[in-house]
Amino acid sequence: MDRVKIIRYKNNNILKIDYSNCNEKEMMDIVNHTRDIILVTNEKILALSIFNDKNYGTPNFIRHLERELPKYDHLIKKQAVTGLNNIQIWILKGINLWTKSKLYHFDSTNDAMGFLVKE
């Protein structure tokens, strides 16, 4: 699946997870593929999730994320998210509260990657 891949940025590996233009089922498949990559790698990773205005945090997707994220969340060192609209940012805040995760939203991919590699 080319929507989940490891990219190199400033001597760091970042797991790039691209949800843009995906429907609910495709987004859930991406979560599963992300889980599998992280668990097989079994080391702390930086993660960048990319969304756009064609993605929707449906109840089924959010429930799926709630079930799957705890399986690999301990291996995510930092996670940044880009491409969210105002409603999606509110959903992200809710996810942070429910899962006690620290997902940070950025307006650009460059800003997000800069945050991820900053010590």
- pTM to 2 decimal places: 0.89
Cβ atoms of 17 and 34 within 8 Å: the answer is yes
pLDDT at residue 54, rounded to an integer: 87
Higher local confidence (pLDDT), 47 or 98: 47
pLDDT at residue 102, rounded to an integer: 81
Query: CB under 8 Å to 79, separation ≥6 — which residues?
Result: 46, 47, 48, 49, 101, 102, 103, 104
How many structural domains are present in the chain?
Answer: 1
pLDDT at residue 90, rounded to an integer: 86
- In this structure, what CATH number is given to the domain that contains residue 22? 3.30.750
pLDDT in tens, 88-107: 888 888 877 877 778 899 99
Closest CA to 17 of 101, 106, 61, 2: 2
pLDDT at residue 79, rounded to an integer: 94
The tokens for 105 are 């939203």
Mean pLDDT of 26-40: 96
Instruction: Give me the domain span that covers residue 56.
Output: 4-117
Cα 38–Cα 42–Cα 46 angle in degrees, nearest 5: 55
Query: Is 14 a residue whose pLDDT tops 80?
Result: yes
pLDDT at residue 112, rounded to an integer: 97
